């Protein structure tokens, strides 16, 4: 039998979790929360974001019905203003974006990662296409 009962579960924001467990440094965080990334960034302070070396985000601005384009652009601008380099691995949207904290990575690191990783992906696609 199926119930339509509402079940309430306790929750905690990312910011409060980081403070609760007293995290001072995060090497990498992968964010793939099906459109809720806007809420996450709107509720997280720049001070908390500064603790993160790399942020890998799968934005959902490619889903037209969500109408998230302006919010995604706002988050990208904020992260850049907060000291992150942006590397977008997607061609038409922001499906696969990496942010590197400038307090951790130099401009040279950023260039190496941006262009080596992109070159590697192109070669990998062409190579596997040839052998399949």
65-108 tens-digit pLDDT: 556 778 888 899 999 999 999 998 877 677 788 999 999 999 99
Q: Structurally, how many domains does the chain consist of?
A: 1
Closest CA to 85 of 100, 96, 72, 73: 100
- pLDDT tens for 16-75 read 999 999 999 999 999 988 778 888 999 999 999 999 999 999 887 665 555 677 888 889
Report if residue 119 sits inside a domain: no
% helix, strand, coil for the chain, step of 5? 45, 15, 40
Residue 46 structural domain: 23-105
Report if residue 120 sits inside a domain: no
**What is the C-alpha to C-alpha distance for residues 55 and 52, in angstroms, rounded to an integer?**
7
Please give the structure tokens belonging to residue 111. 């260039």
Q: What is the CATH number of the domain that holds 63?
A: 3.30.110
């Amino acid at each position: 039998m199926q119930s339509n009962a509402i079940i309430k579960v306790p929750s905690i924001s990312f910011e409060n979790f980081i403070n609760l467990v007293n995290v001072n440094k995060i090497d990498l965080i992968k964010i793939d929360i099906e459109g809720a990334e806007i809420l996450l960034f709107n509720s997280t302070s720049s001070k908390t974001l500064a603790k993160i070396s790399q942020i890998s985000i799968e934005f959902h601005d490619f889903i037209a019905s969500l109408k998230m384009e302006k919010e995604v652009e706002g988050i990208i601008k904020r992260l850049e203003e907060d000291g992150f380099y942006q590397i977008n691995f997607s061609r038409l949207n922001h499906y696969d974006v990496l942010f590197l904290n400038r307090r951790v990575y130099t401009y040279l690191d950023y260039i190496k990662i941006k262009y080596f990783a992109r070159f590697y992906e192109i070669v990998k696609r062409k190579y596997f296409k040839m052998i399949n």
